[in-house]
Amino acid sequence: MIVILRENPEKKQFDNLVAWIEAQGVIPHVTQGVHQTILGLVGDTAKIDIDLLQQMEIVEAVKRVQEPFKNANRKFHPLDTVIKVKDAVIGGGNMTVIAGPCSVESEEQIIEVAQKVKASGAKLLRGGAFKPRTSPYAFQGMREEGIKLLLEAKAVTGLPIVTEIMDLSQLDLFADVDVIQVGARNMQNFELLKQLGKSDKPILLKRGLANTYQELLMSAEYIMASGNENVILCERGIRTFETYTRNTLDISAIPALQTLSHLPVIIDPSHAAGIARFVTPLSLAAVAAGADGLIIEVHNNPSCAKCDGMQSLTPDGFDVLMKNIALIKDAQLACK
């Protein structure tokens, strides 16, 4: 981190600043120019409050030369993190597909979808039990009963399950869940992230609707700094000025996050597009761009779905998509 001081700083303010920096456990190296003084901070600058430093009277500008995330940073962990969930492997150049309905709606529905997506090659089953809905009047999910039905589908098919937690009070219900999802709206629920950091379960962390890569990685850092290294990053579309699609899929997130971090990066084309027939082209683009996986909404009867039917594939549509994914994945591997 580099701190540029205003011209002719007062000695007392300068000494105070140096003492403050040293108290943060960081060493300031002073370079005195004719007009300007620059401090190069060496040490663990991640803990320094950059905003506080920036607004000090004596300080003109502060520049970070290193990212504030350490655990999630590829610089300190050059090899890809590979997360194993039962027989599924996420990360390290594999293409792992998670599929299932937006919400668990009934025993028949979740078991039928689970069997069908498994037959098509999905390695994990998704399904929301606790649903973050924009309207309090919309279907909120089957909650505890939804988790029970997911566990039943897991017992029938052997597929590990992925489901979203919305609040810490729900954590006990997740004891037999294989991957805990933190949705876009909770990406910066820091208390939730800290507690999930104490769990040993993989966490699927979705990028917030209007969050930067660095903010996403700082949220991953919350989980990792608390001891849980098993974080899967998920790009699910961001808010832009475009309204034709539900969100805008940021394909750049794949190479960018894979450059910045060693964590697996998966894509959710369903919430990005909001339109079922766009899910195939977006999925294939993600595979071509080197994503580590996809999470796709599939419903046995999309027109009657209680949530997100518009963006849900039918099991048959999903089966065709999986065949195309295999073709593009082969081409992507051949490109290397």
Question: Is 102 near Mn ion (CB under 5 A)?
Answer: yes
Interface with ligand PEP (CB under 6 A): 102, 128, 132, 183-185, 206, 236, 268, 271
Instruction: Kindly tell me which of 128 and 293 has the beta carbon lying closer to ligand PEP.
Output: 128
Q: How far is the CB of 321 from ligand PEP (least distance, A)?
A: 17
Q: How far is the CB of 181 from Mn ion (least distance, A)?
A: 11
Q: How far is the CB of 27 from Mn ion (least distance, A)?
A: 49
Question: Is 292 near Mn ion (CB under 5 A)?
Answer: no
Residue of minimal Cβ distance to Mn ion: 102
Q: How far is the CB of 124 from Mn ion (least distance, A)?
A: 16
Question: Is 313 near Mn ion (CB under 5 A)?
Answer: no
- Residues that contact Mn ion, how many (by CB under 5 A): 2
132 binds, among Mn ion, ligand PEP, none (CB under 5 to 8 A by kind): ligand PEP
The binder of Mn ion chosen from 67, 164, 178, 308 (CB under 5 A): 308
Residue of minimal Cβ distance to ligand PEP: 183
Q: How far is the CB of 314 from ligand PEP (least distance, A)?
A: 18
77 binds, among Mn ion, ligand PEP, none (CB under 5 to 8 A by kind): none
Looking only at the bridges linking them, the beta strands covering 293-297 and 96-100 are parallel
- Residue linked to tokens 């909120």: 140
Q: How far is the CB of 225 from ligand PEP (least distance, A)?
A: 22
Of residues 52-91, those binding Mn ion (CB under 5 A): none
- Residue linked to tokens 């990360």: 91
Instruction: Kindly tell me which of 128 and 197 has the beta carbon lying closer to ligand PEP.
Output: 128
183 binds, among Mn ion, ligand PEP, none (CB under 5 to 8 A by kind): ligand PEP
Instruction: Kindly tell me which of 208 and 317 has the beta carbon lying closer to ligand PEP.
Output: 208
329 binds, among ligand PEP, Mn ion, none (CB under 5 to 8 A by kind): none
146 binds, among ligand PEP, Mn ion, none (CB under 5 to 8 A by kind): none
Instruction: Kindly tell me which of 153 and 224 has the beta carbon lying closer to Mn ion.
Output: 153
Q: How far is the CB of 206 from ligand PEP (least distance, A)?
A: 4
Q: How far is the CB of 274 from Mn ion (least distance, A)?
A: 9
Alpha-carbon dihedral 134, 145, 266, 263, rounded to 10 degrees: 110
CA gap 173, 165 in Å, rounded? 9
Question: Is 221 near Mn ion (CB under 5 A)?
Answer: no
Q: Residue 8, by phi and psi: left (phi above 0), alpha (psi -120 to 50) or beta?
A: left
Question: Is 105 near Mn ion (CB under 5 A)?
Answer: no
Please name the amino acid found at residue 197. G
